[in-house]
Amino acid sequence: MAVYTQVSAEALTAFLSRYDHGALASAKGIAEGVENSNYLVDTTTGRFILTLYEKRVAADDLPFFFAMLDHLAGDGNLVPRGLPDRDGRVIQELEGRPACLIEFLSGVSVTRPTAAQARAAAAAMGVMHRSLASFDGGRPNTLGIDDWRPLLERCGRSLDTIQAGLYDRVDRALAAVEQDWPRDLPVSVIHADLFPDNVLMLNDRVTGLIDFYFACTDVRAYDLAVMHSAWAFDPAGEPLDPAVGRALVEGYDEAFGLSVAERAALPVLARGACLRFLLTRAWDWLNTPADALVTRKDPLAYARRLDWYERDNEFDAG
């Protein structure tokens, strides 16, 4: 359960008194997620998400994320805006952490997506990319290709305590990705973490895209590769029905479009995505504080996906 920071009823009551959103009725920590502390807050007038930003989110980046969300919501995308208090402030401090009250969106996230759900989610990403073409903000990717080797070195040989030989395995895969990485594809602001748990759905309909805290400026097709690596496999990293992977590429292509060069680069971009999530999960696996109420995510589920992309499997690019 991702609740790193406990919020007392007294502190939350005082926090809510800055807004015109009613008085505290109930609050409970949300089990999903690994990055930030999230609470579901019910007040006398409505339901909200309260997020306290933890380890990987820099407070200085929050204005960028909320400007992006405002831009997307203003253009009709189903994303949650940060809510301003009576003085117009969205970014607050609570229990010593940066914190925001956020719009609640309905829907649930799927764990084993169908092809229809994958198509709808990828189309929502395509529509989002179209809106982002007119967004003039930007943020360097702090977990991009240039950051993977330093992260590998910080994990070091402790990786081998997760699985024998894992350090050398990642080192080899990373060297190949560094060599093959495309340097001339279109760049844009992207979500960079659009996993199934960051897409809210009702049946086959997308009702919300959430968790923009890794959004950054990077290769646009990398966003789709991240999505493929997260959606085309089950949580243990075993591939789902190939129709799911195909639906992702087709849904995105129909909504936004994918050039021949972007399509050709998807396999290496997906290998890069596997390394990004394998490494951050491995770091967390090795460094999660014993008292944190969080379910660590399995780095080896990403080693299995990496194996799959490396085996020269057809990417099912439609």
Ligand X SMILES: N[C@@H](CCO)C(=O)O
Ligand Y SMILES: Nc1ncnc2c1ncn2[C@@H]1O[C@H](COP(=O)(O)OP(=O)(O)OP(=O)(O)O)[C@@H](O)[C@H]1O
Q: Which residues of this chain interact with ligand X, rule CB under 6 A?
A: 34-35, 193, 195, 277, 280-281, 297
By beta-carbon proximity to ligand Y, the closer residue of 33 and 237 is 33
Spell 114-141 as b/e; 16+ CB within 10 A means b: bbebbbbbbbbbbbbbebbeebeeebeb
By beta-carbon proximity to ligand Y, the closer residue of 105 and 243 is 105
The stretch among 97-105, 136-144, 243-251, 271-279 that binds ligand Y (CB under 6 A) is 97-105
The stretch among 82-90, 99-107, 146-154, 278-286 that binds ligand Y (CB under 6 A) is 99-107
Task: For residues 176 and 127, give the distance between their C-alpha atoms in angstroms, rounded to a whole number.
Answer: 32
Q: Does 2 bind ligand Y (CB under 6 A)?
A: yes
What single letter denotes the amino acid at residue 253?
A: D
Q: Does 262 bind ligand Y (CB under 6 A)?
A: no
Beta-strand relationship, 187-190 and 216-219: antiparallel
Residue showing tokens 């992977």: 245
Residue count of the chain: 318
Cα three-residue angle 175-279-110, rounded to 5 degrees? 120
Q: Does 282 bind ligand Y (CB under 6 A)?
A: no
- The residues, ordered by sequence, that sit 6+ positions from 162 with a Cβ below 8 Å of its Cβ are 282, 285, 286, 299, 300
What single letter denotes the amino acid at residue 258?
A: L
Number of residues that bind ligand Y (CB under 6 A): 22
Task: For residues 144 and 146, give the distance between their C-alpha atoms in angstroms, rounded to a whole number.
Answer: 6
Site for ligand Y in 48-77 (CB under 6 A): 49
Report the partner that residue 280 touches, choosing among ligand X, ligand Y, none (CB closer than 5 to 8 A by kind): ligand X
Coil, helix or strand for 187? strand
The tokens for 226 are: 């991240």
By beta-carbon proximity to ligand Y, the closer residue of 265 and 294 is 294
Q: Does 33 bind ligand Y (CB under 6 A)?
A: yes
Q: Are 267 and 129 in contact (CB under 8 A)?
A: no
By beta-carbon proximity to ligand Y, the closer residue of 15 and 39 is 39
Q: Which residue is nearest to ligand Y (CB)?
A: 33
By beta-carbon proximity to ligand X, the closer residue of 53 and 277 is 277
Task: For residues 119 and 139, give the distance between their C-alpha atoms in angstroms, rounded to a whole number.
Answer: 28
Q: Does 211 bind ligand Y (CB under 6 A)?
A: yes
Q: Does 43 bind ligand Y (CB under 6 A)?
A: no
Please, what is the minimum distance in Å from the beta carbon of residue 35 to ligand X? 5
DSSP assignment string, 241-263:
-HHHHHHHHHHHHHHT---HHHH
HSE-up of 134 (CA within 13 Å, CB side)?
8
HSE-up of 274 (CA within 13 Å, CB side)?
29
Please, what is the minimum distance in Å from the beta carbon of residue 230 to ligand Y? 10
Report the partner that residue 281 touches, choosing among ligand X, ligand Y, none (CB closer than 5 to 8 A by kind): ligand X
Please, what is the minimum distance in Å from the beta carbon of residue 235 to ligand Y? 13
Report the partner that residue 80 touches, choosing among ligand X, ligand Y, none (CB closer than 5 to 8 A by kind): ligand Y
Report the partner that residue 277 touches, choosing among ligand Y, ligand X, none (CB closer than 5 to 8 A by kind): ligand X
Which of residues 69, 80, 173, 280 is near ligand Y by CB under 6 A? 80
The footprint of ligand Y (CB under 6 A) covers: 2, 30, 32-36, 38, 49, 80, 102-105, 109, 193, 197-198, 208, 210-211, 213
